[in-house]
Amino acid sequence: MLPTGRASLRHQREVFLGAVRLSGPERLVIKSTHVAKEVGLSGDTVTESLRFFDTLGIVTGARGRYAATEEGVALAEVWPADETRARVMLHHLFEGHWATDAARTALAQGPVEAEALAQHLQLGLPGHPRRGLYVVEWLIEGLIIHPDRHGRVYATSPGQVPPASTLPQPRKSEHEPSDGYVMGMCNEELRRLPTSQYVSVLRSFKTMIEQVDAVPA
């Protein structure tokens, strides 16, 4: 199952968050038409998005009726406030996913053009070519693959990204800017880092917080 080709990743994420919001902590079964009304997108766009999210295990259902899963509720709680932790959670959700296995196999010999990988992932599957490109974008979002400066993508090794539970919880301070920075970088700058550097920043940040916690009050 491929993600929808009708909406950007930002809108696909809104579909997920809207579905979890409607499903609630009780994880009630909801109709995709209700999610479509909630997020202002077409029913087909929402249904295609939810089908893909079902393959990740963050919603469950079929035929226009879906419910949030425990993993989906946890991800939805984190994503709006802490994108770094959400991407790490997404990484572990993608482990074992068909797209992850296919991408790592295709990239075993080294980087390839993102469009070439998208075509490979969509091979034999229906829909607009954008659907293959959005698979690639989701794998980048989940830290499974990473783009280089030449427009190619390469795969990260399994186990390179630490569990989300090992990352420090975000701390609010009245002196911090509303956007928040980690090691002097905003979310957009963090997203552009090569995966190895991204993970290194996360670990350095964790070490820094642990050192602060160790200082007697």
The verdict on 143 and 121 lying in the same domain is yes
Confidence (pLDDT) at 177: 43
CB-CB contact of 136 with 14 (8 Å): no
The verdict on 86 and 145 lying in the same domain is yes
The verdict on 87 and 146 lying in the same domain is yes
Final residue in a domain of this structure, among 76, 93, 127: 76
Other beta carbons less than 10 A from residue 124's beta carbon: 4
Final residue in a domain of this structure, among 60, 76, 92: 76
Residue 91 lies in a domain: yes
How many domains are there within the chain?
A: 3
Kindly list the strands in the beta sheet with 59-62, ordered across the sheet, starting from the edge strand earlier in the chain: 30-31, 65-68, 59-62
Residue 185 lies in a domain: yes
Confidence (pLDDT) at 184: 54
CB-CB contact of 193 with 148 (8 Å): no
Residue 53 lies in a domain: yes
The verdict on 70 and 87 lying in the same domain is no
- What parts of the chain have a pLDDT lower than 50? 172-179, 212, 217
Confidence (pLDDT) at 65: 97
The verdict on 135 and 170 lying in the same domain is no
Task: Express each pLDDT in 47-97 by its tens digit.
Answer: 999 999 999 999 999 999 999 999 999 999 999 999 999 999 999 999 999
Domain coverage including residue 139 = 80-155
Residue 3 lies in a domain: no
Residue 144 lies in a domain: yes
Residue 217 lies in a domain: no
Q: Which two tokens stand for residue 97?
A: 């996913």
Residue 160 lies in a domain: no
The verdict on 91 and 150 lying in the same domain is yes
CATH number, domain with residue 39: 1.10.10.10
